[in-house]
């Protein structure tokens, strides 16, 4: 059963997930087991657990999932060629603009905090694009998501709207019929278990360099396709809406145990292929991630049954919010961590100031239409009702 309605709760999920990235990235500054762009002298394992370890397992997979859903709606009204041009405009152009204007300030704060560079930010721009690039200071930091999404979108295009479209459409229809009759949606974790088990020990994926990050590439590719399939078929969606309670009943205790282990261990869990616990860990982790995706989509649909003007406005600007947020966060944190405030006070101050400055930046951007193409700002979202039935509560 093909879906023809915009799913407004997806806009809300996108807004919330991107907003939570401010908390996640601020938490990284105080995390003892992660080398972030800059790091506070005093760290906190408790803060790391509730901000980084809690969000990391499902946050970006969920963002790729809803990106797959968005790709369905975009492809439904565009030719393949038009879709590629639109992806280049909305992904590659902002990626290049961000590389030139937004990444150097982050690298500046990093190199200054480590005593590698001394001078002003203006001086650093000259250094970065000459000597800095030669010395390997090039980075795309948080813009990795945009690059990965562009690559995954182009890789899957022949399947979504190309030679494999008819075959893939039949697969989606059959899958929709199967999951709606047998309620086996949680078995969607199995392909994720396979890819995580095959690749995660070899490519733990902390740096998102694309060319040597096969665990993350395969993970995000799969959940992107899952998102497309979900948007394309109302039976699959309805199964999500019926399965969210058992999904969260699985995810919450698993997450609680994993967080406790990370707190006691003081670090991420890491295993070699030769360790039998590795296979148990990847199975549990993949199941946990998939259950969070199912649970969050089901809850969002149950709570949000109609378009919300404030959410639509925020959703329209959530992409430039993502593009700007980490640069402003790092610039703010660069000054805050040098103060004598407590860890918690620093964390809260950085979070609040980042939300305020990033929100002001994207609202200011919205006033200048000529700049919209540089940061992927779209026109107003179309207002359509979602006619799918609410999940049973």
Assess contact for 32 and 45: CB atoms under 8 A.
yes
pLDDT of res. 1: 52
Using alpha carbons, select from 350, 253, 238 the residue that is nearest to residue 298. Answer: 238
**233 in Cβ contact with 176 (< 8 Å):** yes
Q: Rounded to whole angstroms, what are the CA distances from 259 to 55, 155, 171, 347?
A: 11, 35, 37, 20
pLDDT in tens, 26-70: 999 999 999 899 999 999 999 999 999 999 999 999 999 999 999
Out of 71-85, 326-340, 356-370, least confident range = 71-85
Query: Model confidence over 50-61: pLDDT tens digits?
Result: 999 999 999 999
pLDDT of residue 130: 85
Termini Cα distance of the chain: 24
DSSP structure class, residue 389: P
* pLDDT per position as a tens digit, 192-208: 999 999 999 999 987 89
Q: How many C-beta neighbours within 10 Å does residue 341 have? A: 14
Instruction: For residue range 252-270, list pLDDT tens digits in order.
Output: 999 999 999 999 999 998 8
For the chain, counts of helices (H) and of strands (E):
17, 0
What's the pTM?
Answer: 0.93
Structure tokens at 355: 């939300």
Contact at 8 Å (CB) between 1 and 239? no
CA atoms within 13 A on the CB side of 249: 5
Question: How far is Cα of residue 244 from the mean position of the Cα atoms in its chain?
Answer: 20
């Amino acid at each position: 059963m093909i879906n023809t309605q915009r799913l407004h709760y997806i806009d809300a999920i996108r807004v919330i997930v991107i907003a939570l990235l401010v908390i996640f990235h601020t938490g990284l500054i105080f995390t003892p087991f992660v080398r972030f762009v800059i790091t506070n002298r005093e760290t906190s394992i408790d803060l790391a657990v509730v901000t980084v370890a809690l969000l990391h397992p499902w946050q970006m997979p969920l963002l790729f999932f809803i990106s797959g859903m968005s790709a369905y709606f975009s492809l439904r009204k565009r030719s393949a060629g038009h879709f590629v041009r639109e992806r280049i405009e909305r992904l590659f152009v902002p990626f290049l603009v961000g590389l030139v204007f937004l990444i150097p300030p982050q690298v500046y704060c990093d190199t200054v905090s480590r005593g590698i560079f001394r001078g002003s930010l203006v001086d650093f721009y000259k250094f970065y694009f000459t000597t800095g690039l030669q010395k390997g200071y090039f980075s795309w930091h948080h813009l990795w998501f945009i690059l990965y999404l562009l690559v995954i979108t182009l890789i899957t295009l022949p399947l979504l709207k190309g030679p494999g479209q008819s075959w893939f459409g039949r697969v989606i229809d059959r899958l929709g019929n199967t999951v709606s009759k047998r309620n086996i949606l949680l078995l969607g974790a199995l392909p994720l278990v396979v890819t995580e088990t095959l690749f995660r020990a070899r490519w733990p994926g902390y740096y998102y360099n694309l060319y040597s990050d096969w665990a993350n590439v395969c993970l995000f590719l799969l959940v992107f396709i899952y998102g497309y399939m979900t948007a394309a078929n109302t039976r699959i969606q309805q199964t999500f809406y019926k399965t969210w309670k058992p999904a969260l009943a699985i995810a919450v205790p698993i997450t609680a145990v994993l967080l406790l282990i990370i707190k006691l261990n003081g670090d991420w869990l890491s295993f070699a292929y030769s360790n039998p616990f590795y296979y148990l860990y990847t199975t549990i982790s993949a199941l946990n991630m998939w259950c969070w995706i199912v649970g969050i989509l089901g809850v969002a649909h149950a709570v949000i049954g109609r378009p919300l003007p404030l959410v639509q406005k925020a959703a329209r600007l959530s992409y430039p919010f993502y593009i700007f947020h980490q640069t402003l966060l790092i610039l703010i944190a660069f000054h805050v961590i040098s103060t004598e405030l407590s860890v918690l006070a620093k964390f809260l101050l950085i979070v609040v100031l980042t939300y305020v400055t990033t929100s002001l930046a994207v609202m200011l951007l919205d006033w200048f239409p000529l700049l919209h193409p540089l940061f992927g700002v779209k026109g107003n979202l179309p207002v359509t009702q979602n006619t799918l039935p609410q999940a049973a509560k």
